[in-house]
Each structure stands twice: as structure tokens, then as C-alpha cells.
Amino acid sequence: MLDKRMTVDDIVDQLSDGMTIGIGGWATRRKPMALIRAIARSKLKDLTIMAGYGGPDIGLLAATGKIRKLVFAFASLDHFPLEPHFRNARQAGAFEVLELDEGLYHWGLRAAAMKLPFLPSRVGIGTDIIRQSGFDFKMVKSPYEDSEELVAMPALVPDVALIHAHRSDERGNILTLSVDPLFDELLVRAAGVSFVTVEKIVSTAELEMKANSRFNLVERAMITGVAEAPFGAHPTSAAPDYQLDLKHIKAYVDSAASPEAWAEYKAKYIDVSEAEYQATIGGAEVVEALPVPVY
């Protein structure tokens, strides 16, 4: 079937306990937050979360106890460098981690996308990344004259990938209109099963592919389902449609200060429908007017 339209809840129904879920985006950019909130509300448990470039996705899933194992290179809210919910959970030993370099994570996705068991790299040599307990990194020797000893970065293969894009048609032809496509394409290719939330589902003609094809990340054959979720990346950005909501991110940061503060945030923003969430944050008018951040 070429009609791949689903709801956010339909997507969450496709997930199960113990699954390895890869999350796209970068820190405060284009995180599939409507999906993350829905997972946080769900009964799902024991998830392995692959979020190399983590932000509030990691923090929210950590704070709601969804993570059994985290594969990551960093967790940050960028303007607020330390992700406070990630920090609290990690300091409590709440989950196991495989900590990677950002480039090594990219390389593991690329290996998976190429259906290779590993790709060689120098990255990790000389560091504790390749000495982590719970994971046995292997080295490989170059078979050529140089005989260099390299890290064999294993393929990172999620069961599903979750990303947020700007537009899609019902067939799963997606457009990611931001300047930086990040590594969402590789994540989708690595997973083979991918669910995408988009700001707007439009007709194929409205995608104007001839002009916009360079914003088309990946073949639609790689996209399993698309759900319309306007402002579904909030409080992270989906520029050019809207910018990150620094005020909300501050409120989110403050919610890590105490169990009471977290309970209040959770009741207000997580344990509600996405429609209520959107209304609470002020609706389209407020989100569309968010100022461009400075870096």
C-alpha cells in the first residue's frame, strides 16, 4: 500500500518492549518530540535508545524510566549545555550506556546503511571509548601494505528509526527543509523500518519535487509510515518552519530540580494529549513567532 499515513499513536503501537529505537535530529534541532512524548506516556519499557546527538529526547525518556540502555555520543540542550534529566538518571545508574564519539556513531550508522558488519576507523584509538565495560570493541589490521591497526566500528542497527521532517505526501516522499539534514538519512537507512512525523502532509504535486528534490533525504521505500504532527518537534526547532523554544527549554531544565518540579512538568506537558500540549504552549501563533536563536 502506498498510503502510509498513520497517527502518532499508531506509530507508538508499532513499538514494543525491549526494542532498539534510533532517534534522529540533533540536541535541540528536529527531534521527533511528539513521538517522544507519546512514548513517555505509553507502557513501553526496557528500550535501547540510539540517540548519538541527544537532547530532550534522551532526557524525557530517561526521566520517565523508559531506557534500559543508551547508545549516545552526547546529551545536551545546546544553550543549556548539560541535559539535566539525562544527568540525574545517569548519576543514579538508571541505565547502561555505550558511549561513542559523534563521528564513530555516524560511522556505525553508515555501516548499517551499507549492510556491512563494521567499518574501519581510527576514531576511538587512544581513548576509553574502546575500553568500555559491557562492550568488546575489536581491532582490525589493514590487509594492505600499511598494516595499520584500526577500530572495527560495528554496524548500529536499530529496530526502528524515528525522525521529524517538514513535508511528506501520503506515499512517504519526505522533505527536510532545514539547512542541515544532519544524519537522519543514515539512521533511516540503518533501520530499514522508519516512522516519520512531519509538519504537514501534502499532495505529491505540492512537494514541488523538481525544485525541492535536494531536500528529499531518502527513497520512500525506506519510509514505513508518516504521521502529520504540526509543531511535533517542539520545544526543539524545525527551522525554517519554527525555531527552538528557549523559554520552554528553560522550564524543562527547571523541572529537573526536584521530584515535585518534575511531577508538575509531567502532568502539564507529558500526561496530556498532543492537542492539549500544543494549546498549553500557546498554539501555532506563539510557536511560529519564536525568535531565531543565536549560536
Interface with other proteins, residue 207, by CB under 8 A:
no
Interface with other proteins, residue 215, by CB under 8 A:
no
Can you tell me which of 74, 195, 262, 277 binds other proteins, judged by CB under 8 A? 74
* CA–CA dist 161, 153 (Å, integer): 20
For residue 167, list its beta bridge partners. Answer: 175, 200
185, containing H or E segment = helix 184-191
Can you tell me which of 19, 97, 193, 286 binds other proteins, judged by CB under 8 A? 97
Interface with other proteins, residue 242, by CB under 8 A:
no
Are 253 and 34 spatial neighbours (Cβ–Cβ below 8 Å)? no
Whats the size of the chain, residue-wise? 295
CA dihedral 168, 56, 71, 184 (to 10 degrees): 20
Interface with other proteins, residue 144, by CB under 8 A:
no
64: helix, strand or coil:
coil
* CA–CA dist 178, 176 (Å, integer): 6
Interface with other proteins, residue 93, by CB under 8 A:
yes
Interface with other proteins, residue 180, by CB under 8 A:
yes
Can you tell me which of 127, 213, 273, 280 binds other proteins, judged by CB under 8 A? 127
Nearer to other proteins, 92 or 211 (CB): 92
Can you tell me which of 14, 68, 69, 99 binds other proteins, judged by CB under 8 A? 99
216: helix, strand or coil:
coil
Can you tell me which of 13, 82, 138, 258 binds other proteins, judged by CB under 8 A? 82
DSSP for 79-102, written as a single string:
TB-S-HHHHHHHHTT-SEEEE--H
For residue 5, list its beta bridge partners. Answer: 226
Can you tell me which of 15, 61, 100, 162 binds other proteins, judged by CB under 8 A? 100
Q: Which stretch binds other proteins (CB under 8 A): 89-97, 157-165, 187-195, 243-251?
A: 89-97
227: helix, strand or coil:
strand
Residues numbered 11-70 forming contacts with other proteins, rule: CB under 8 A = 26, 54
Interface residues with other proteins (CB under 8 A) are 26, 54, 72-76, 81-82, 86-87, 90-93, 96-97, 99-104, 106, 122-129, 132-134, 139, 149, 179-183, 294-295
